[in-house]
Structure 1
Amino acid sequence: MTSSRLARLASLSVCVAFSSAWAVPAPSAPAAAASAPGPAKPSATASSKDAASAAVSAKAEPTTSNKPASTKPAPAKAPPPAPVPTDLPTWCKTIAERLTALPLHQCLNTGLQPGDGRSVRGIPLWFRDIKPASGAPRLRVLVLGGIHGDEMASVNLVFNWLERSVKSNNAPIHWRVVPLVNPDGLLRKPATRTNARGVDLNRNFPTADWATNARSYWISRTGKDPRRYPGPAAMSEPETRWVQRQLEQFKPNLIVSVHAPYGVLDFDGPPPPPDKLGNLYLDQVGIYPGSLGNYGGVVQRVPVVTLELKDARQIAASESAAMWTDLLGWIDRRLINVAQQGSTTKQP
C-alpha cells in the first residue's frame, strides 16, 4: 500500500472517531411499546406545534417546587353595587339626589306604597291610590312616569300631579299614580333610557305585532340602537309585567304616560283626543311594536294620553299646572260627562 493511501485512511479514521464522540444517542424504548395498540400518531406539523408549546410551557413554568412569586399585579376589584333602596325614606333620599326639582320632604310626604312589583335590581315600584273624598268614582286613571330612566322631568311632573290629585279629590276620579316605573335606569350613573338589563320598557309590551315586528323594526328602523332594544321577548322585564298587572287589576279607563323630550302630545285609543295639554299640542306620531300606546290603546282599547315634554331634565311648575288643568277639563268633557250621559240614556 502506498504511503499516500495510508495517510488518507488515517485521516478518515480520525474524522469518524471525532464524529462519534459528539453524536447524541437516541432514547431507548421497550420493544413491547412498538407493538402495543394506541392512538394514531400525530402529524409532523402537530408534533412540531406540540413540541413548541411544550418548550414555551417549560420556559413559562419552572420545574422546581420553589416557584418565584408572581410580579403581576392583582386585578382591581369592581366596586360593590349600590345598596338597593327598599324602604321609602331610603328610596326618596336616593332619587331626590338625582332629581333636583324634587325636595326630599315632598317625596316623604306623598303617602306612596310599595307595589307587589320590583325592578330588575329589586327596587320596589311605588304607587299611591287617591280616591274621591265622597261618592263612588266614575273613572279610574293610571298615571305613569319614568318609564325611561333618563327622562327625569317626567318623574318630577308625576310627583307634582300626585300632590294636585290629593288636593283636588272632589272630582269623581280614582287615581293610581306611579312616579317612577324604571328606577334602575334613573339611578344609573349616568341615567339610562333602558332598565338594568338594557331593555327599553316602552318597546317590551305584548302588542299584537311584537313577535313579527319588534326585532325587525329595531334592526331596520333604529340600526340596533341599544337605547331602543325591545328585549328578548315581549314582557321579558319585571317592570313591564307589573304595569300590565295594573291594567288587569286596576282596570283603568284612561292611561296617562309621561315622557320627554319631543315636545308633543300623542294619543292612542277610542275617544277623541285632547287638542293640547299646556304647551303640548296634539301630534299623533303613530304606534311602535311593544309600546304602551300600542298595547293600551290598540290591544286593550283603553285610551292612552302620552305627554312628550320639551325638556328631559326639568319642567316649570307653571307648565305642570297648565297641563294638569287641561287634563282635568278634557277628562270632565270627554270621559266623565260622556259616561254619565250614557248611563242616563240606559235607564228606563
Structure 2
Amino acid sequence: MQRALCEAAQLQPTVARSVKGRTLWARDIKPDQATLRVLVVGAIHGDELSSAAVALHWIKLAGQMPVDTRHGIHWRFVPVLNPDGVFSASPQRVNARGVDLNRNFPTPNWARDAKVYWEKRTGKDPRRWPGPQPLSEPESQFLHNQMRGFKPHLIVSIHAPYGVLDFDGPSVPPSRLGRLYLDQVGVFPGSLGNYGGVHKGVPVVTVELPNSTRTPLDAEMRQMWQDLLRWTNERLGAGRDVAIETGSTGGFPPKLP
C-alpha cells in the first residue's frame, strides 16, 4: 500500500483498536446538507490488500467532487478494518485471534448456524472460523457500533478476488460496477451482507475485485466509483446527476466514535 496514498487520504484515528492494539482509522467526507449516509469498508479480510487500496482511491475521488455536486451524501470510509491481518508477516484473512471477521456478525441463530456451516461446509477451515461467539472481536464490534451510531443507508464492503458484484438487502441491486457484474452468491451465517442486508434492511453492496494483491487501474476504479454514485443516486434518492470532476475536498471530524 503506497505511503503517499495513505497520507493523501487524511485518515483520522478512531477510539477503536484491533486485537493487537492497532488504531482503526476512518475518514468522513460530508457536505453541509447531507441527507444520505454511506459506509465504505475495506480489508475485512487482511489478505485482500487491493480492497484497502480501492477504498483509499475512492476517498480521493470523493474529495475531488465539487461541493455542489456531492448529492448530499455523507461518506464514511474505513479502508482497513483488519489491520492485524494486513500487517502480519504474511497478510492473512483472519484477525490476530484467528477469527474471520466476516463471519462474526450477530445473524439470527448464529450459535447454531455459524458452527454448522464452519464444520460441515468448510471442513473446519481455519481461515473461515467464525469465532467463539458473535461480535467476539474488537474489529467486528467497531463496525457494528458504526452501523448503530452512523446509521448508514448503504454499506459498501470491498473484497477480493472473485471478480463479481454481490448484493444483499432491499432495493434493486446495481447490475454492474465497472467490469464487475452482479452475481448474487448467497448469504453466510455471520456475514456482513447477511446481518446488514437481510436482517437489518440496510442494502449491502459487496465488491469482489478480481485480484487480492493487484489494484485495478485508475480508470477502472473511477468507473466503479461513477457507477456506484449513479446507482446510489437513482435507487436511494441521493440527489442530482453524478459528477466527479476535481474540486475542493470535504471536511472531516477531528475524531470519530
- Do these two structures clear the TM 0.5 threshold for a shared fold by scoring above it? yes
- Conserved 8 A contact 1:268-1:303: yes
Pairwise CA distance, 1:191 = 0.6
Higher Cα Rg: structure 1 or 2? 1
Say yes or no: does 1:334 pair with 2:235: yes
Hey, what does 2:21 align to over in structure 1?
122
Pairwise CA distance, 1:211 = 1.4
Hey, what does 1:143 align to over in structure 2?
40
Pairwise CA distance, 1:116 = 1.6
**Cα distance in 2 for residues equivalent to 1:275 and 1:106:** 29
Hey, what does 2:150 align to over in structure 1?
250
- Report SS of the residue matched to 2:183: coil
**Cα distance in 1 for residues equivalent to 2:74 and 2:63:** 11
Structure (1 or 2) with the greater helix fraction: 1
- Conserved 8 A contact 2:36-2:238: no
Q: Deviations over 1:75-110 (max 9, x none)?
A: xxxxxxxxxxxxxxxxxxxxxxxx2xx2x2231232
- Residue identity opposite 2:9 in structure 1: T
- Residue identity opposite 2:164 in structure 1: V
Q: Give matches, 1:70-89, under 5 Å.
A: none
How many residues end up aligned between the 2 structures?
235
Q: Deviations over 1:287-322 (max 9, x none)?
A: 000000001001211000000111011122121111
Say yes or no: does 1:203 pair with 2:103: yes
Q: Deviations over 1:90-135 (max 9, x none)?
A: xxxxxxxxx2xx2x22312322111121100000100011001xx4
- Report SS of the residue matched to 1:117: strand
Q: Give matches, 1:1-348, under 5 Å.
A: 99=1, 102=2, 104-132=3-31, 135-168=32-65, 169=67, 170-171=69-70, 172-314=72-214, 315-336=216-237
In the alignment, structure 1 segments of 5+ residues that lack a partner are: 1-98, 339-348
- Conserved 8 A contact 2:105-2:190: yes
Pairwise CA distance, 1:140 = 0.3
- Report SS of the residue matched to 1:160: helix
- Residue identity opposite 2:188 in structure 1: Y
**Cα distance in 2 for residues equivalent to 1:107 and 1:263:** 24
**Cα distance in 1 for residues equivalent to 2:128 and 2:28:** 31
- Conserved 8 A contact 2:8-2:60: no
Cα RMSD for the two superposed structures: 1.1
**Cα distance in 1 for residues equivalent to 2:35 and 2:150:** 13
- Residue identity opposite 1:281 in structure 2: Y
**Cα distance in 2 for residues equivalent to 1:237 and 1:250:** 20
Structure 1 residue ranges, 4+ long, deviating more than 2 angstroms after superposition: none
In the alignment, structure 2 segments of 5+ residues that lack a partner are: 240-257
- Residue identity opposite 1:185 in structure 2: G
Which TM-score applies when normalising by structure 2? 0.89
Q: Deviations over 1:208-249 (max 9, x none)?
A: 131110011000000000000000111000000000000011
- Residue identity opposite 2:45 in structure 1: H
Pairwise CA distance, 1:337 = 5.6
- Conserved 8 A contact 1:138-1:336: no
Pairwise CA distance, 1:186 = 0.6
- Residue identity opposite 2:54 in structure 1: L
**Cα distance in 2 for residues equivalent to 1:164 and 1:222:** 38
